[in-house]
Amino acid sequence: MGTKKSLKTINNLKIFSGSANLDLASQICKYLSVPLGDVTVDRFPDGEINVKVNEDIRGADIFLIQPTCPPVNEHLAELLILIDCCRRASAERITAVMPYFGYARKDRKDEGRVPITAKLISNLITKAGADRVITMDLHAAQIQGFFDIPVDHLLSFQVISKYYESLNIPDLVVLSPDVGGIKNARLYSESLKIKLAIVDKRRVGPDETEVGFVIGDVKGKNVVIVDDMIATGGSIVQAANILKEKGAKDIYVGATHPLLCGNAVEKMRNAPIKELAVTDTIPLNENAKSLGDKIKVLSIDELLGESIRRIHLNESISSMFAEP
**Residue 302: burial class (beta carbons within 10 Å; 0-12, 13-18, 19+):** middle
CB of 201 to ligand R5P, least distance (A): 8
Binding footprint of ligand R5P on the chain (CB under 6 A): 177-178, 180-181, 227-235
Task: Give counts: helices (H), strands (E), the chain.
Answer: 10, 14
Q: Is 55 left (phi over 0), alpha (psi -120 to 50) or beta?
A: beta
CB of 76 to ligand R5P, least distance (A): 18
In the bound state with ligand R5P, the residue whose beta carbon lies nearer, of 200 and 302, is 200
| Contact partners, residue 29, CB within 8 Å, separation at least 6 | 15, 35, 36
Q: What is the pairing mode between strands 222-230 and 251-258? A: parallel
In the bound state with ligand R5P, the residue whose beta carbon lies nearer, of 90 and 142, is 142
CB of 261 to ligand R5P, least distance (A): 8
**Residue 28: burial class (beta carbons within 10 Å; 0-12, 13-18, 19+):** buried
In the bound state with ligand R5P, the residue whose beta carbon lies nearer, of 151 and 199, is 199
**Cross-strand bridge partners of residue 275:** 252
In the bound state with ligand R5P, the residue whose beta carbon lies nearer, of 18 and 254, is 254
Is cis: bond before 71, omega within 30 of 0? yes
| Cα gap 32→71, rounded to integer Å | 28
Task: Reply yes or no on whether 246 is catalytic.
Answer: no
In the bound state with ligand R5P, the residue whose beta carbon lies nearer, of 150 and 272, is 272
In the bound state with ligand R5P, the residue whose beta carbon lies nearer, of 232 and 287, is 232
Catalytic residue among 14, 201, 221, 249: 201
CA distances from 312 to 239, 267, 308, 318 (A): 41, 42, 6, 15
Rg, Å, the chain Cα set: 20
CB of 122 to ligand R5P, least distance (A): 19
| Cα gap 160→155, rounded to integer Å | 10
Please list the active-site residues: 201
